[in-house]
């Protein structure tokens, strides 16, 4: 089984200079082994964390990138590009194929997103039941096609205690179960998949 090294390129210099006063850069080296998607990669990520991001939100964003990893994936500029999703996948022509939001995007944003991209997903560090209640009865274009992935909040809490600006970790995924090797210790948790529309 071979791994390929992938690097994430940060936004261009003008954008970096506008973020420099507020954002903190985190460097994550991730050995990814996603059995569920048959994805095996070595990722070198440089992620700008805004002051408004809690550790749990930031970790959810980083893990969502790894879980969704594919050719054409990238991070948006965050608060500097509020019209874009937190994470996107574009094809070679620049057309958006996947829109991924983090946390609790509002119904109007999801309505717009599902018209802008063939696939929309949410990764949240919040209580999924609360999110689902908030979307009930709201106008969301093809809401049944949107996936909600709830991160294990106990796992996020453990990782948040160990969050550092330079981290090396192993991430294994098997049947929705996450195994994270960090600092010689293994942490486990699940990613629960929900539908925005009740069956």
**pLDDT tens digit string along 156-179?**
999 999 999 999 999 999 999 999
pTM of the model: 0.87
Residue percentage of the chain with pLDDT more than 70: 89
Q: Where are the alpha helices (DSSP H) in the chain?
A: 13-19, 55-67, 107-116, 128-135, 153-161
φ/ψ of 176, rounded to 5, equals: 80, 0
| Residue 107: how many other CB atoms lie within 10 Å | 16
Compute the average pLDDT of residues 99-124.
97
Positive or negative, the CA dihedral 69, 74, 77, 81 is negative
For the chain, give the mean pLDDT. 90
Domain 5-195: CATH architecture, name and number where available: Roll (3.10)
So what's the pLDDT on residue 18?
Answer: 43
User: Can you point out the beta strands (E) in 35-176?
Assistant: 39-49, 73-75, 87-90, 96-102, 119-124, 147-151, 166-174
**CB–CB of 110/69 below 8 Å?**
no
What is the rounded (10 degree) CA torsion for 117, 23, 70, 127?
Answer: -70
In sequence order, the β-bridge partners of residue 178 are 173, 189
Chain segment 89-101, per-residue pLDDT in tens:
999 999 999 999 9
Q: According to the model, what pLDDT value does residue 154 have? A: 98
**Collapsed DSSP state (helix, strand, coil) of residue 45:** strand
pLDDT at 114: 95
Span 9-37, pLDDT tens digits: 444 434 444 444 588 999 999 999 999 99
Q: Is the pLDDT of residue 124 over 50?
A: yes
């Amino acid at each position: 089984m071979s791994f390929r090294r992938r690097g994430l390129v940060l936004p261009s210099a003008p954008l970096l200079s506008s973020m420099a006063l507020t954002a903190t850069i985190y460097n994550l080296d991730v050995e990814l082994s996603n059995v569920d998607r048959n994805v095996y990669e070595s990722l070198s990520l440089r992620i700008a964390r805004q002051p408004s991001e809690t550790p749990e939100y930031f970790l959810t964003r980083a893990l969502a990138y790894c879980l969704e990893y594919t050719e054409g994936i990238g991070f948006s500029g965050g608060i500097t590009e509020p019209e874009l999703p937190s994470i996107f996948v574009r094809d070679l022509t620049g057309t958006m194929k996947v829109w991924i939001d983090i946390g609790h995007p509002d119904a109007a944003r999801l309505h717009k997103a599902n018209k802008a991209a063939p696939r929309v997903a949410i990764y949240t560090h919040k209580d999924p039941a609360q999110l689902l209640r908030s979307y009930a009865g709201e106008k969301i274009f093809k809401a049944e096609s949107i996936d909600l992935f709830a991160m294990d909040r106990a796992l996020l809490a453990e990782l948040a205690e160990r969050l550092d600006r330079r981290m090396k970790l192993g991430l294994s995924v098997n049947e929705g179960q996450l195994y994270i090797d960090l600092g010689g210790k293994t942490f486990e948790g699940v990613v629960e998949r929900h539908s925005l529309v009740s069956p």
